[in-house]
């Protein structure tokens, strides 16, 4: 029996991740080695593919390995100003694949920090994007998840948010800070890509017999998509790729309509392999 397959309107690679992967794979370096600074994205299949193309991962403490012939890619999360300086000093060819939305946060943070504002970042202090943003104000930012831990709020404050942060957390912080400071500049820097993926997954999961969420098990945005879909559709699967697709998805005749969504770090070819497996078996 043929099954109907619907792919969520917004799913898979977001603009910034696609750009970073394209910039990396399209780069031709005939002499030196190509590295990415940390894993380019949270997806095992993509990392394996890059590794097979000779593109290796470099950690922050390995810069001394770089030669002038090598190329190093800064991933979409971005890095702090000091790291960029260190990389430039290495003489290697640097490809800055920082998502333009993240670069825009860097510029705001630098500007307002230079003007004497205390920077507050709404987000996770250990997230690479937040660490990178903090590196544009000499690591002096206060990082908070929802503002409840804030004390001694200075009189001039500039608030920005991690691009994947929840709007409610950003709003809570703005509310707390605005009551306690004299001068506030705020930028809602949350990216729409996350919201669009979550909303379209939510809609689709209401109308299908089975929902399949594709993405890395360590990708927080994919986990979130799974949780959202699971609330509307008990029959929700979380798989990394087509090899994890259980046989019953194809044989169970009560499953007529299948919805598919994928995290922002899942490439199109991984989604296509899942669709083809369902269609062809
Ligand atoms: S989620 Fe948004 S900000 Fe982050 S990389 Fe994707 S497009 Fe850029």
Per-residue confidence of the chain (281 residues) as pLDDT tens digits?
789 999 999 999 999 999 999 999 998 767 889 999 999 988 888 899 999 999 999 998 898 889 999 999 999 999 999 999 999 999 999 999 999 999 999 999 999 999 999 999 999 999 999 999 999 999 999 999 999 999 999 999 999 999 988 899 999 999 999 999 999 999 999 999 989 999 999 999 999 999 999 998 888 789 989 999 999 999 999 999 999 999 999 999 999 999 999 999 899 999 999 999 999 87
CA-nearest residue, atom 5 of ligand 1:
16
Domain 15-99 top-level CATH class:
alpha beta
Yes or no: say if 10 and 229 are a contact pair by the CB < 8 Å rule: no
Atom of ligand 1 nearest to the CA of 221: 1
Q: Is 102 in the pocket of ligand 1 (CB under 6 A)?
A: yes
Q: Are 15-99 and 101-190 the same fold in CATH?
A: no
Distance from C-alpha of 222 to C-alpha of 219, rounded to nearest angstrom: 5
When computed from its CA atoms, the radius of gyration of the chain, rounded to whole angstroms, is 21
Q: Is 265 in the pocket of ligand 1 (CB under 6 A)?
A: no
164 CA from centroid of ligand 1 (Å)? 8
Per annotation, catalytic residue among 59, 62, 68, 129: 129
CATH of domain 101-190: 3.40.1010.20
The fold for domain 4-12+193-280 equals Cobalt-precorrin-4 Transmethylase; domain 1 (3.40.1010)
Yes or no: say if 177 and 159 are a contact pair by the CB < 8 Å rule: yes
CA-nearest residue, atom 7 of ligand 1:
16
Instruction: Give residue limits of the domains in the chain.
Output: 4-12+193-280, 15-99, 101-190
Q: Is 76 in the pocket of ligand 1 (CB under 6 A)?
A: yes
Q: Is 41 in the pocket of ligand 1 (CB under 6 A)?
A: no
pTM of the predicted model, to two decimals?
0.87
HSE-up of residue 176 (Cα within 13 Å, Cβ side): 20
Confirm whether 129 is a catalytic residue.
Answer: yes
């Amino acid at each position: 029996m043929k099954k109907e397959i619907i792919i969520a309107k917004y799913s898979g690679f977001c603009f910034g991740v696609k750009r970073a992967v394209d910039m990396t794979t399209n780069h031709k370096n005939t002499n030196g080695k190509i590295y990415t600074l940390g894993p380019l994205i949270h997806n095992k299949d993509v990392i394996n593919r890059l590794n097979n193309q000779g593109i290796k991962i470099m950690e922050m403490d390995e810069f001394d390995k770089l030669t002038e012939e090598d190329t190093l890619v800064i991933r979409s999360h971005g890095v702090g100003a000091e790291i960029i300086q260190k990389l430039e000093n290495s003489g290697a060819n640097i490809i800055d694949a920082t998502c333009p939305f993240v670069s825009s946060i860097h510029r705001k943070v630098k500007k307002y920090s230079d003007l004497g504002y205390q920077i507050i970042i709404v987000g996770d202090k250990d997230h690479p994007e937040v660490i990178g943003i903090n590196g544009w104000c000499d690591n002096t930012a206060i990082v908070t998840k929802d503002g409840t831990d804030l004390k001694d709020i200075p009189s001039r404050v500039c608030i920005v948010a991690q691009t994947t942060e929840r709007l409610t957390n950003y709003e809570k912080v703005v509310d707390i800070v605005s009551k306690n400071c004299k001068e506030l500049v705020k930028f809602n820097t949350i990216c729409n890509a996350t919201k669009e993926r979550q909303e379209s997954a939510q809609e689709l999961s209401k109308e299908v017999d089975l929902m399949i969420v594709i993405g890395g098990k360590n990708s927080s945005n994919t986990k979130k998509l799974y949780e959202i879909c699971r609330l509307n559709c008990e029959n929700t699967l979380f798989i990394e790729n087509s090899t994890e697709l259980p046989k019953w998805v194809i044989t169970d005749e009560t499953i007529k309509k299948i919805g598919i969504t994928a995290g922002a770090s899942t490439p199109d070819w991984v989604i296509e392999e899942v669709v083809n497996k369902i269609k062809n078996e």
